[in-house]
Homo-oligomer: A and B are copies of this chain.
């Protein structure tokens, strides 16, 4: 394998194949009109020269890079890892590449978006951080769709994909009530994030319908992390003198897991005997034996699908639809951290033989 030149161009290939440079371009463009025989000749020459088409150069004229920016915060939450994986798989299958940006959860995403813009990305998916209206219009003015994943920003032009968090919060409250809980506590996530707010809202709303006062519902922030929630659980339940709530809602699974571990291993509480617990997301870890967490499932695949649909990758010139927000239905998954009331017996998740990937 000789080293003719470090990076052969379409001209080099053309020369070797004895054709014009445009012919080379055509040979590599599916569906362009070129004689099959000529294409073969070009491909052969390309192979000899180790030619790899330069997408950077082509995107200069086509105005499409096939790169999608994915902005992530909080990779400590497996939910987002799962999401990243799903996007990566799907986009790769669609011939797109994923450019990753990590930001501190809850911080501004402006800088990341600005950097993404420099790369002329075809779209941006935002799973974390705040989004300024300035960035939104910066993207939209260039025809670049930006979709918020698992969040929305009221009044924003950016579209969002999420599940019905308010409804999910209600489902949890409903389950606790059905299991006979009388007093309640929550570990909340990012106070600025609508996701946490909505789950709290639905939860509280449903409880208030039963005559429970908001002030009776205890609440501590868990920073959306395992460790933060473990600490939160300790401050909520550590004082053995105080009467202890009999139901705890972790606003997401990773926090519910942190809380459960702290409750069991630090406070020696039995779940669900001493205390029932629920989470939200249904991350793969939630079904593991130590947790068997009762939780609300987010329909990740649907959400990813809908995100992709909103970006209209195949119709780049289509005007961007602003501010679309259609929450997807969420569903309660009964496992073992809430005693299952008779009426729900048949709903209990059968995780047997079900791999996490599934």
Contact = CB atoms under 8 A, between A and B. Distances in A.
User: How many copies, total?
Assistant: 2
A141 B75 contact: no
Interface in A75-93: 75-76, 78, 81, 84-85, 88-89, 92
A356 B143 contact: no
A327 interface: no
A53 to B, nearest CB: 6
Nearest to A82: B75
Interface string A102-124: 10000000000011011110000
Interface in A105-158: 114-115, 117-120, 134, 137-138, 141-143
Contacts of A289: 261-262, 264-266
Contacts of A120: 54-56
A85, A141, A143 pick with most chain B CB within 10 angstroms: A141
A141 to B, nearest CB: 5
A59 interface: yes
A50 B141 contact: yes
Contacts of A54: 118, 120
A6 B265 CA distance: 58
Nearest to A75: B85
B1 A67 contact: no
A3 B140 CA distance: 10
A191 interface: no
Contact of A356 (B52, B56, B114, B226): B226
A78 B57 CA distance: 36
Contacts of A142: 6-7
A288 interface: yes
B118 A227 contact: no
A40 interface: no
Nearest to A261: B289
A25 interface: no
Contacts of A138: 50, 52
Interface in A159-202: none
A100 interface: yes
A21 interface: no
A309 interface: no
A101 interface: yes
Contacts of A76: 284, 356-357
Contacts of A98: 99-100
5 contacts: A1-B137, A52-B117, A78-B78, A226-B356, A264-B290
Given A75-B81, A88-B101, 7 more contacts: A70-B100, A75-B85, A76-B284, A78-B81, A225-B355, A225-B356, A261-B290
List the 5 closest A-B pairs by CB distance, nearest first.
A265-B289, A261-B289, A55-B118, A88-B102, A227-B355
